[in-house]
Structure 1
Amino acid sequence: MKSPTVPKKEFESSGQQSGMQVLLVDDDFFFREYISLLLEEAGHKVLKAASAEEGLHILKTHPCSIILTDWMMPAFSGLDFCMQVRRWEQGYHYIILLTGKETSAEVVEGLSAGADDFIKKSASPSEMMARVKCGARIIQQHRKLEEQKERIAQLAERDPLTNVYNRHFLYTRLPGEIKRSKRYHIELSVIMTDIDYFKRINDGHGHLIGDRALKFFARTLSENLRQNVDWVCRYGGEEFVIVLPNTELEKGVRTAEKLRSILEHSVMTTENGELNFTASFGVAALSSLKDVYEMESLLQLADERLYESKNKGRNCVSF
């Protein structure tokens, strides 16, 4: 079969779309090359497969936003391919079936299998690219929605001032950490901490400097913990909770002492000069609890230890 000539003017009139990575699956070599040329002219990067099996193999290592697949292929049809792709949890793909079928029953069958659109193999280049452009537009909108969902999720679990986790996140995640520790018989420690004499900072320097002190404090804590293991949340006001998975009490105390020392020797620069402040720490571990391994009991014990540090004169660690 000779590859059809691409009518240049007709193709250009369809307009350009920002490039996507497109998977093209068709067992007809000449038709595959023809469609590939159209897609590349439109600015898309094209990955080509001669069979549905090869297409699935490509998708495993090369995520593609748009998929064009022939319906009629030997052994493994385009419908089978659509259904297989939809079973995967690899993000959203816009799937277009290339076909000569056009009855209502066939359209329903294709859409039910997971296709988003149809293109007749006899369609003009401008129609083909218009449908691909439509798919690219839908993919872009889908990405925007996913980004918005991610931002909303982050707002729901992050403290807006310090960007560490909030109290809601603590109450959601800590019970799971405790359950995991009990199941696998591993230790878990919690540190309760707050800034010493924080009211003096607010009264003496103003609430804007007080907010900066909270951000400085949260950043100092976060940057000196095990990344992707330990986590910090703002418990309320100037009080923060640090969760240390797989950490026995002794190690938790060493971590708290390290944080206390770093903060004591750190200086925050403000418009009115340098500001130095300290913090008090209380440490509790699951093994410190007598019988009931519950979140409330663990947090209460850490809070009691923090209160002990304040009674000792502040800027110290109690456990």
Structure 2
Amino acid sequence: METTQTYSVLVADDNVLIRNIVTDMLRGMGFEVHEAEDGQQAFDLYRCNHFHIVVTDWVMPNMTGLELCKAIRGDSSSRAHAGYTYILMLTSQDSKNDTIAALDAGADEYLIKPVHKPELQARIRTAMRIIQLEAIRQSHFEQVQKASLVDVLTGVHNRKFMEERLPLEVKRTNRYQRPLSIMLIAFRDIDRFRKESGIFVTEKMLQAVAAMLRESIREEVDWVARWNEYQFLVLLPETDVNSAATVAKRLKIRMNQLTVEVNEASYKTTALYGIVGFTGDQGKKELTVDRLIEFAQQALEKADPETLIGGLKLG
């Protein structure tokens, strides 16, 4: 379990005596504590620093505790996505309607003044447990989300990712009138290779080729995905057909050098490279993913028998 030293707490109260009491209690528990004398100052601090826990008074000048809760919950800045912020409201208002109003505004807990040290400490420990559970939930969500866009066998992106990414790149290309190319890479004689080598060796070859492709492209600029069982798709922004052909030649050399060793036996393979490229134009209708893949397949079919590369430039 994380220690309290890993948590930062913001205390907002215009009453300096109460603020000091709460701050001393929390520092005594080992927390890093920041102070604000009103709601607006608290929100300004929140926008610049991620706080795991916010302890706020209700009645404050400039911005009330309710308004602070709503502002924090409505914040869409990148800082707001650093992790969940647990909000504990301190107030002398103890009616049921007040409790409902605080919870509806975004508070997680509601504590009536005067502050009782053991009760405050218990509520803070509860906050820590909830923050930890939320962090675990978010981590699991991100893992599932990432897994849904990654091919399990090869570790590169999958078709779903490329079907989402490619339209965005086409739109950007048209907006800024820049070049864009895609390259479809298909194994040659894959049925014979699989029959002679077996599925285990074939999967090892797919993994090796995927790793080679990932290492050969520009990181965070180009994208590679497993398009179908035995084809990879490489997305090359800011790259015209001629430049994409140069990339294909480099990939072909590395493919020819690639060897997979299984049980003291060596295996090699070759591939065809189908390239389609265009320069964006705001006046043109955007190309669909299916249409681009159709053009790339045509380029594959027309690949030069010696270079194994086919290129198609769209007008």
How does the TM-score come out when normalised to structure 1?
A: 0.85
- For the residue of structure 1 that corresponds to 2:302, the secondary structure is helix
1:243-271 deviation per Cα after TM superposition (whole angstroms, max 9, x unaligned): 11222111111122222222223444444
1:120-169 deviation per Cα after TM superposition (whole angstroms, max 9, x unaligned): 23232121111112122222222222222212222222111112221222
Q: Contact 1:100–1:121 (CA<8 Å) still a contact in 2?
A: yes
Aligned pair partner of 2:291 in 291, 297, 313: 297
Aligned pair partner of 1:40 in 20, 27, 40: 27
- For the residue of structure 2 that corresponds to 1:145, the secondary structure is helix
- For the residue of structure 2 that corresponds to 1:226, the secondary structure is coil
Q: Does 1:312 align with 2:305?
A: yes
**Which range moves more in the overlay, 61-70 or 120-129?**
120-129
Give the structure 2 partner of residue 141 of structure 1. Answer: 133
Q: Contact 1:17–1:133 (CA<8 Å) still a contact in 2?
A: no
> How far apart, CA to CA, are the structure 1 residues paired with 2:188 and 2:305?
12
2:104 corresponds to which letter in structure 1?
S
Count of aligned residue pairs for this structure pair = 301
Superposed counterparts of 1:1-319, under 5 Å: 19-89=6-76, 90-91=80-81, 92-286=84-278, 293-309=287-303, 312=305, 316-319=308-311
- Residues 274 and 62 (structure 1), Cα distance of their counterparts in 2 relative to 1, 3 Å cut: farther
> How far apart, CA to CA, are the structure 1 residues paired with 2:300 and 2:180?
17
Q: Contact 2:174–2:279 (CA<8 Å) still a contact in 1?
A: no
> How far apart, CA to CA, are the structure 2 residues paired with 1:42 and 1:198?
64
Q: Contact 2:92–2:113 (CA<8 Å) still a contact in 1?
A: yes
> How far apart, CA to CA, are the structure 2 residues paired with 1:269 and 1:39?
60
- Residues 196 and 33 (structure 1), Cα distance of their counterparts in 2 relative to 1, 3 Å cut: farther
Q: Contact 1:21–1:46 (CA<8 Å) still a contact in 2?
A: yes
**Which range moves more in the overlay, 279-288 or 63-72?**
279-288
Q: Contact 1:18–1:43 (CA<8 Å) still a contact in 2?
A: yes
- For the residue of structure 1 that corresponds to 2:121, the secondary structure is helix
2:176 corresponds to which letter in structure 1?
Y
> How far apart, CA to CA, are the structure 1 residues paired with 2:24 and 2:129?
20
How does the TM-score come out when normalised to structure 2?
A: 0.86
The alignment-based identity, stated in percent, is 27
Q: Contact 1:190–1:244 (CA<8 Å) still a contact in 2?
A: yes
Unpaired runs of at least 5, structure 1: 1-15
Q: Which consecutive aligned stretches of 4+ in structure 1 deviate over 4 angstroms post-superposition?
A: 16-19
> How far apart, CA to CA, are the structure 1 residues paired with 2:279 and 2:64?
59
> How far apart, CA to CA, are the structure 2 residues paired with 1:129 and 1:41?
10
- Residues 152 and 228 (structure 1), Cα distance of their counterparts in 2 relative to 1, 3 Å cut: same
